[in-house]
Chains A and B, each alone.
Chain A
Amino acid sequence: MSTEDTTSDGARARTSRRGRIRVTGFDSAAVRDRETFSADRTGISGAAANRRTKAWNRFKQNRSAIIGLAILAFMVFIAVFARPIQVSLLGEGFVIQPFQLAPHNTDTNLVAGNQPPSAEHPFGTSDLGRDIMSQVMVGARFSLAIGVIAVGLAVGIGVPLGAIAGYYGGWVDEAVMRLVDILYAFPFLVLAIVIIAILGQGFWNMIAALVIVGWIGYARLIRGEILSVKENEYVMAAKALGARDRSIIFRHIVPNAIAPVIVQATLAVGTIVLAAAALGFLGLGLQPGTPEWGTILSEGREAVIRGYWWVTTFPGLAIVVFVLAVNLVGDGIRDALDPQDEVGEQEGGFR
């Protein structure tokens, strides 16, 4: 606003007529030095809660996420207590979980097959005469285990690979990312099917197939995040202090880039369970007769055409509820970690 630099153009310099202005006596030090006024002495607390607590508080307020979490807890409970769990150690069997919530045994045929729901068999029976409710309850074990293990391993492979690719760049990056690009050319399920075709069926082969397909997503995600935090000050500082690369990556970079991975991994548990169920349905999952949700459904088409709706309905519903719950929790975590669009959650008002 100094006036001398606007004098070239009289029309613009409305205040140039009376010369230069100088203000004295506005002593900002007076504010810092004086005593606090009585009215201001209270309530200047409010130490900022740390990030994790804040995220948790936001999560707690998200009703649908809490509902999802409750459903998941319930399903884990069922999975654990559906049937006793035995481990064998040195040739002897130990029962580590003696409870049995499932009303019937799942691996022996009980009664005539294809019975509609009744008091004895609330979800009906399968064509082999097995109690579907018991199968669904025990099946939770397989589906949950597959989901958690496959996602865990995929994250365990994808994050380090992506982190290394992003941090070092150069040919390491090229090699990893080209592999990612090539694998991306195959749809998720098709690739998994092919891998199972090569490896053969079975629990661990299925996990292997899902992991080989699943890691690429995390590698891509973490690489992108790392590229964006790599130049941050704290990374530079760590480098300048002579920290080793490995410690820079895993101490400084990954923790800061991990939020989207957590969200992605949570949602992926749902996707993986769906994929596993599809493989089971196609007859490429676990051994036939295993009470895994998808595998129970593999005879679904025949059953449905003959009118035995309960054979498919209940195992399918179990999948829907589980995946829905996972998605609710995943969305909740995302909103909690990244609260950018919380403004404007009231009624929309766009004219």
Chain B
Amino acid sequence: MSLRQYVTKRLLLTVPILLGVTVITFLMTHLQPGDPVDVLIPLGANPSEEAIRQLRRQYHLNEPLYVQYFLWLKDAMVFDFGVSIQRDSLVSEAILTRLPYTLLLGVFALFIAVAIGVPAGIIAAVRKGDKVDEVSRIAALLGIATPNFWLGLILIFIFGVQLGWISTIPPSDVSVLDPALLTYMILPAVTLGTASSALLMRIMRSSMIEELNKEYVRMARAKGLAARTVIVKHVARNSLISVVTVAALQIAFIVDGAVVIEQVFSMRGVGRLILQAILQRDFPIIQAGVLMIGVVIVFANLAADIIYSFLDPRIRY
């Protein structure tokens, strides 16, 4: 099988999962107690009978459930989720204008996580059992145990309130790559990346330790290679293969974190939008946001699998 065929096959395998994701997202409005039409009525509004009938027709609520699903899915495919209930804008527009901020935050955080986690994991594994390893273990445990929102608050207090180095509110009305925004983004990204880097470090360490015990390491040393070459070229390369899969899981972890961190730092992002929508019971936005996240994660896993097959020659596609 060629790589192209492998990717196609792997893509086909994601179709049922994607369908499942859409079904669950779709059912959200139907699973909750009460008449589904209730969720389409803005909080506090008291529409007339006629208006409600109009809404039922508009959202096909009189059709059987599966028909409703397919009609919804048809629109969802082109990212049409109708109009937000609470705000006067298209759902797709509300999400797309905020997506870049979330993406930037996520990529920034992932970069920090990898840049710290991978080398720290390598060092800890090589120095297994000594002081360096012990210190990094405690640091990692602390990183995992610290709630990210709390860490964010502490950083705001230290750098924003006490030292006054950064503003405590994000610059408004600037483009995504504006220096002011990028500077503001440092703290949220560090906050978000910390726990991820701790997890990555632990995984990299245990993967390295497993690899270090393998015979090919002794072989590489018996060839006369320098310790650094053995570790970087042979051991780390093998460890990274298994870490790639875990890095995909980190994306879910980072999305989770972004929802919270955007709230902590009052940032305009998709996570905060979804949260606001939940508090306002604006279901079209929630559905669109959640569906998007689900699709992103599915494709991230797909990408990880494909990268994995590139890195590991043993994978037969």
- Complex contact A300–B153 (CB within 8 A): yes
A188 cross-chain contacts in B, Cβ below 8 A = 252-253, 256
B215 nearest CB across to chain A (Å): 15
- Complex contact B147–A319 (CB within 8 A): yes
- A194 and B29 CA atoms in complex are apart in Å by 11
User: Is A122 part of the binding interface, using a Cβ–Cβ cutoff of 8 Å?
Assistant: no
Measured CB to CB, the nearest residue on chain B to A313 is B154
- Complex contact A350–B227 (CB within 8 A): yes
The answer to whether A278 and B149 touch (CB under 8 A), given A185-B21, A193-B275, A309-B157, is: yes
- Complex contact B256–A347 (CB within 8 A): no
- Complex contact B294–A284 (CB within 8 A): no
A283 cross-chain contacts in B, Cβ below 8 A = 279
- Complex contact B149–A300 (CB within 8 A): yes
The answer to whether A348 and B129 touch (CB under 8 A), given A187-B256, A188-B256, A282-B275, is: yes
- A194 and B142 CA atoms in complex are apart in Å by 29
A197 cross-chain contacts in B, Cβ below 8 A = 28, 278, 281, 286
- A331 and B206 CA atoms in complex are apart in Å by 13
User: Is A248 part of the binding interface, using a Cβ–Cβ cutoff of 8 Å?
Assistant: no
B126 cross-chain contacts in A, Cβ below 8 A = 348, 350
B174 cross-chain contacts in A, Cβ below 8 A = none
A347 cross-chain contacts in B, Cβ below 8 A = 129-130
Measured CB to CB, the nearest residue on chain A to B249 is A184
- Complex contact B127–A189 (CB within 8 A): no
What does the 1/0 interface line of B296-316 toward A look like (CB < 8 Å)? Answer: 011001000000000000000
- A30 and B32 CA atoms in complex are apart in Å by 81
- Complex contact B293–A198 (CB within 8 A): no
The answer to whether A348 and B21 touch (CB under 8 A), given A189-B260, A312-B153, is: no
B168 cross-chain contacts in A, Cβ below 8 A = 305
Residue from B227, B253, B278 within 8 A of A351 (CB atoms): B227
- Complex contact B144–A323 (CB within 8 A): yes
- Complex contact B263–A282 (CB within 8 A): yes
The answer to whether A324 and B142 touch (CB under 8 A), given A297-B153, A309-B157, A347-B129, is: yes
B69 nearest CB across to chain A (Å): 15
B275 cross-chain contacts in A, Cβ below 8 A = 193, 282
- Complex contact B227–A297 (CB within 8 A): no
What does the 1/0 interface line of B153-176 toward A look like (CB < 8 Å)? Answer: 110110011000000100000000
User: Is B141 part of the binding interface, using a Cβ–Cβ cutoff of 8 Å?
Assistant: yes
User: Is B104 part of the binding interface, using a Cβ–Cβ cutoff of 8 Å?
Assistant: no
B147 cross-chain contacts in A, Cβ below 8 A = 274, 277-278, 281, 294, 316, 319-320, 323
The answer to whether A185 and B153 touch (CB under 8 A), given A190-B255, A350-B227, is: no
Instruction: Determine the main DSSP class of A at the interface with B.
Output: helix
- A327 and B143 CA atoms in complex are apart in Å by 11
- Complex contact A316–B286 (CB within 8 A): no
A69 nearest CB across to chain B (Å): 15
The answer to whether A193 and B278 touch (CB under 8 A), given A198-B31, A320-B146, is: yes
B24 cross-chain contacts in A, Cβ below 8 A = 182-183, 186
B209 cross-chain contacts in A, Cβ below 8 A = 341
B84 nearest CB across to chain A (Å): 15
User: Is B259 part of the binding interface, using a Cβ–Cβ cutoff of 8 Å?
Assistant: yes
The answer to whether A185 and B160 touch (CB under 8 A), given A198-B28, A348-B126, is: no
What does the 1/0 interface line of A277-298 toward B look like (CB < 8 Å)? Answer: 1100111100000000010010
B85 nearest CB across to chain A (Å): 14
The answer to whether A351 and B153 touch (CB under 8 A), given A194-B290, A324-B145, is: no
User: Is A242 part of the binding interface, using a Cβ–Cβ cutoff of 8 Å?
Assistant: no
- A193 and B150 CA atoms in complex are apart in Å by 19
User: Is B90 part of the binding interface, using a Cβ–Cβ cutoff of 8 Å?
Assistant: no
A189 nearest CB across to chain B (Å): 4
A179 cross-chain contacts in B, Cβ below 8 A = 20
- Complex contact B154–A301 (CB within 8 A): no
- A294 and B307 CA atoms in complex are apart in Å by 38
The answer to whether A187 and B255 touch (CB under 8 A), given A178-B16, A301-B153, is: yes
User: Is B53 part of the binding interface, using a Cβ–Cβ cutoff of 8 Å?
Assistant: no
A350 cross-chain contacts in B, Cβ below 8 A = 126, 212, 227, 231
A263 nearest CB across to chain B (Å): 13
User: Is A345 part of the binding interface, using a Cβ–Cβ cutoff of 8 Å?
Assistant: yes
User: Is B221 part of the binding interface, using a Cβ–Cβ cutoff of 8 Å?
Assistant: yes
B274 nearest CB across to chain A (Å): 7
Given contacts A194-B278, A324-B141, A345-B128, 8 further A-B contacts (CB under 8 A): A185-B21, A187-B253, A187-B256, A193-B275, A270-B144, A274-B147, A277-B150, A348-B133
Residue numbers of A with Cβ under 8 A of B are 178-179, 181-190, 193-194, 196-199, 270, 274, 277-278, 281-284, 294, 297, 300-301, 304-305, 307, 309, 312-313, 316, 319-324, 326-328, 331, 341, 344-348, 350-351
Name 21 interchain pairs, CB-CB below 8 A, sorted by A: A181-B20, A184-B252, A185-B301, A189-B260, A190-B274, A193-B275, A197-B281, A198-B28, A199-B32, A278-B147, A281-B149, A281-B263, A301-B264, A304-B153, A304-B154, A304-B157, A319-B145, A320-B145, A344-B128, A348-B130, A350-B227
